[in-house]
Structures are given as structure tokens and as C-alpha cells.
Amino acid sequence: MIQSLDPRVTRAQIELNNPIDPLTELDQWETYEVFHQKKRGDQHIHVGIVHAANPEMALLFAKEQYARRGVSVNIWVVKTAQVYSSDYADSDIFETVPEKIYREAGGYKVMEKINKYKKAQAVK
């Protein structure tokens, strides 16, 4: 029998006289939103969340959670509390009506005119 100092190996012998109380809300660190950039010049993309005690620690954790496969050149962390977001109850603001198709890129008919003009130029 190996006399291990590793608590995982000797776990069976640990007497839990004092059951661990669940953490209260104040014991939890706040969360940071993590954005990573795959290469310089790219947009930073949101990849997830980490718990951390301060921004430096959030960066440390973000690197290990989301950027250890070697595909990032840069990371941002932003306190979740600092993100101002829309309400799901208001998600109908994103809806649109079919009559507005002329205001969208797909609604433009200008290509026809351009092609017609090009053709006319080529003929000359």
C-alpha cells in the first residue's frame, strides 16, 4: 500500500466531520465575458464566460479555457455586469414586415441597369 500524500488517492480515508456548506452568493467571483481574436485584424468573437476575482485573473483563465488550442492572437475580457443588453421580451423589435423589402440589400434591382449599361458600352 502506497502512503500517498495525494488527497485524491487517500480520499477514502478522509472523514468528513464537517460537511461543506454550499457557497453563498458573495463567495462566488463575478463573471467576465471572453472574446478572442483568431488573427490580427479579425473581429474579436465572443467565446464564453469565466469566473474571476479581477481582470488579470480573467485573462489567465480565458487563455486556458478558450485559447489553449493555439488559434488566438489576442483576448478581451469584459465584466458581464458592464454589458447592457436588450430584453428578450422586446425581441419583437427585430421583426420586420414584407413591405420593407426595398430597404434591404436583396431588394435592389440596380444590377439589371448596370448590366444593361455595360452591354451598351461594350457594343460601342
- Residues engaged in binding another protein (CB under 8 A): 2-9, 29, 50-54, 56-57, 60-61, 63-65, 68
Evaluate the CA torsion angle 81, 64, 66, 38 in order and state its sign: positive
In the complex, the smallest distance separating the C-beta of residue 82 from another protein, rounded to whole angstroms, is 19
Q: Which is nearer to another protein, 65 or 74 (CB)?
A: 65
Based on CB atoms, which residue is closest to another protein, 53 or 122?
A: 53
Distance CA 36, CA 50 (A): 13
From the CB of 102, what's the least distance to another protein, in Å? Answer: 49
- By beta-carbon proximity to another protein, the closer residue of 53 and 114 is 53
Strand 74-79, strand 30-37: pairing: antiparallel
Least distance from another protein to the Cβ atom of residue 106, Å: 44
Nearest to 74 by CA among 40, 51, 50: 40
| Three cell numbers, residue 10 | 487517500
Distance CA 34, CA 46 (A): 6
Nearer to another protein, 5 or 122 (CB): 5
